[in-house]
Structure 1
Amino acid sequence: MHVVVTDYNEEWKQRFSEESQKIKDIFGEELIDIHHIGSTSVPGLKAKPIIDIMPVVRDIDKVDSFYAQMEGLGYECMGELGMKGRRYFRKGGDHRTHQVHVFQADNEEDIHRHLAVRDYLRTHAEQAKQYGDLKENLAKQFPKDIEAYMDGKDAFVKELESVALHWYRK
């Protein structure tokens, strides 16, 4: 996967809105809420142009019955993919456009972690700029090595999550 980080794009909001509606149509009554998360959800933040979507559902096991419909939208169904209690879908192959991270409503730890980071970065412009600059520099340094890119931002992200969760719980 080629690592590309771009300036914020206003179209990301619309791409989220369009895709989330398709997911709402599939998940129906199982869906409680749906959130735009990740860097593309933070105005002004440099990001990989991949829309992260977080549906919150009543029963995570029922999501498995939506695999065929999600595949019909072009998603690859990845199961938990290393995170217990999640269902993960990705779209676009090596040129990924969307990622869907589904959690059951009582999985407050993972849901709050994603929302805390998003909301913290939306209200703390200096930290958002630092994070965007780090990602941009890592993408230039490791344009063909997603693992090195991810490793390079790991310590920053862990600290960001910790600070954001503390802020979010206040």
Structure 2
Amino acid sequence: MQVEVTAHNPRWKDDFEKEAQKIMAIYDDLLLEIYHIGSTSVAGLKAKPVIDMMPIVSDINKVDKFDDQMLALGYEPLGENGIVGRRFFRKCNMSSGKRTYHVHIFDPSSQDEIIRHLAFKAYLIAHPEIANQYGNLKSRLGAAFPDDIESYMDGKNAFIKETEKQAVVWYEGNSNS
């Protein structure tokens, strides 16, 4: 998979909103909330142009019965895809083959995963200098590994893990006050 890191595009927020409406229509009463997460959700942050969405549903075990409807929207269901308690879907542009959306579905039993994603986003928004460091790291890695998504992801891993730890502590401290 080709790695493309671009400047933030304000259209990503609208892209999320439009796609979220489609997801909401599928999961309807099962859906509790839907969040725009990942780098495209942070204004000014460089990102791969892939919108990450995190729907929260009341029961993760009921998600699989909607796979045909997700397939009809162009999403490939990938099960837990490495995170227990998650359902992961990816969507690609039909003409270019490039990924356009990732959907990470959780239910309230995966509170640690939900908090991790929300805290990381909120922390980057509240700490633009850290977001800038992250964006620059992604740009360097994208240039170094333009055709090697695994090396790109590996190169971000230590920064993400350390920042997530700080973000969760910060987030939990701010949400409890």
Tell me the residue number matched to 2:143: 140
Tell me the residue number matched to 1:154: 157
Q: Deviations over 1:57-84 (max 9, x none)?
A: 0000100011000000000000001110
The Cα of 1:23 is off from its aligned counterpart by 0.2
Q: Deviations over 1:119-146 (max 9, x none)?
A: 0001100000000000000000000000
Tell me the residue number matched to 1:126: 129
Q: Give the whole-Å Cα distance in 2 for the aligned partners of 1:123 and 1:41.
A: 13
Tell me the residue number matched to 1:97: 100
Tell me the residue number matched to 1:47: 47
Q: What aligned pairs does 1:63-82 form with structure 2 within 5 A after superposition? A: 63-82=63-82
Which segments of 5 or more consecutive residues in structure 1 lack a partner in the other structure? none
Which segments of 5 or more consecutive residues in structure 2 lack a partner in the other structure? none
Report the TM-score when normalising by structure 1.
0.99
Tell me the residue number matched to 1:3: 3
The Cα of 1:148 is off from its aligned counterpart by 0.4
- Over the matched positions of the two proteins, sequence identity in percent amounts to 55
Q: Give the whole-Å Cα distance in 2 for the aligned partners of 1:52 and 1:13.
A: 11
RMSD (Å), alpha carbons: 0.8
Q: Give the whole-Å Cα distance in 1 for the aligned partners of 2:26 and 2:152.
A: 33
Q: Give the whole-Å Cα distance in 2 for the aligned partners of 1:166 and 1:92.
A: 35
Q: 3-state SS of the aligned residue for 1:97? A: strand
Report the TM-score when normalising by structure 2.
0.95
Q: Give the whole-Å Cα distance in 1 for the aligned partners of 2:135 and 2:78.
A: 28
